[in-house]
Structure 1
Amino acid sequence: MVNVVVEEKVNQVVGSVEGEPSQRWGFELPLLLFAGFRTLIDQLHTELADHGYPDLRPAHGFAMQAIGPDGVTASELGRRLGVSKQAAGKTVDRLAALGYAERVADPQDARRKLVRLTPRGLDALTLSAAVFQELRGQWADRLGTGRLAELEDALKSVVGPAGFRLDAAGWFGG
């Protein structure tokens, strides 16, 4: 194996691939998956901004999903996001300052506080779901409904049942 620099592939230094020229570089798969994710998220946030939510960021979306319709404690939010309780608290502070979440007394235990979404937060999540559905439709138009379903099925088979997790922000170091 000879090391080569693939200039057009974000200057990755990689071992050369022996065999068919049609073989793809191993580092391309995660980059393509991330680029697809990033494209969808960027398009979502453009739409959210156009509909009155210019201050929402991707990390806010993960946090709002983790808060859910019933609310959570800051500790539980931290666990769901894969971050410390303090980091979760800072995220809650920011969401509260923006009007998307609030702290309320836990009806089960008055000593605890719950974080729950405000009507504005719930509206933003509802709009996000509609925008994601529209974006999926655009991908179906571009790829074809069958190819998109095959892509989704293939990804589900690779990532398994535990593939959907909200701790991406923590995993990325955010």
Structure 2
Amino acid sequence: MDDSREPELLFQLGMAFQMLLTEFTARMSEAGYDDLRPVHGYAFQALKEGGATSTELSQHLGVTKQAAGQIVDHLTGRGYVERLPHPDGGRRKLVVLTDKGWRHMADAGRILRSLEAEVASGYGDLSGLKSNLSSLLGALGDGELPPFRPVW
């Protein structure tokens, strides 16, 4: 069978990601988070395990320290994160989620689960797809994933 008319896997994965992210972003905006972009969600993911320095955040996001600082400034100005003295002392600051940031995480999780359930209702059980994607990521990444570069 000639499958040259089938879109390549990379294209299919990219389009699925783009479509889901666009819908998720729209729903988050409707829920009152129109001041955030996808990059901010990636930052929240990096901060949810006890916070991070701006340098650690830049490494997690795969952006410059200056860009990470701008992201932190944006989130701080809107009350989602705060800078605290680092537990190890020195001039470093630990960026942590505020109550507002944690509420955002809860709302985002609820919206993501709802979106996933809607996709599953049209597609079927997603557990096989998720398992296959996890295996693919493991095979491609040799156990270590690169920074997930945000969509601006």
TM-score (ref. length: structure 1): 0.76
Q: CA deviation at 1:99?
A: 1.9
For 1:126, give the aligned amino acid. A
Structure 1: distance between partners of 2:145 and 2:113: 17
Answering whether residue 135 of structure 2 is matched by residue 157 of structure 1, we say yes
Q: How does 1:45-124 map to 2 (within 5 A)?
A: 45-124=25-104
Q: CA deviation at 1:54?
A: 1.0
Contact kept in structure 1, 2:54 and 2:68, CA below 8 Å: yes
SS at structure 2 position matched to 1:109: coil
Q: Give the structure 1 partner of residue 148 of structure 2.
A: 167
SS at structure 2 position matched to 1:116: strand
Structure 2: distance between partners of 1:45 and 1:25: 31
Structure 1: distance between partners of 2:148 and 2:49: 18
Kindly tell me: are residues 43 and 150 of structure 1, through their superposed partners in 2, closer, same or farther at Cα, counting changes over 3 Å?
A: same
Kindly tell me: are residues 114 and 36 of structure 1, through their superposed partners in 2, closer, same or farther at Cα, counting changes over 3 Å?
A: same
CA offsets, 1:115-135, max 9 Å, x none? 111111111111111111111
Higher helix share: 2
Contact kept in structure 1, 2:59 and 2:147, CA below 8 Å: no
Unaligned runs of 5+ in 1: 1-19
Q: CA deviation at 1:47?
A: 1.6
Structure 2: distance between partners of 1:143 and 1:155: 16
Q: CA deviation at 1:25?
A: 5.0
Unaligned runs of 5+ in 2: none
The structure that has the greater radius of gyration is: 1
CA offsets, 1:17-46, max 9 Å, x none? xxx34x145763212111111122112112
Larger relative contact order, structure 1 or 2 (CA cutoff 8 Å, min sep 6):
2
Higher strand share: 1
Count of aligned positions = 149
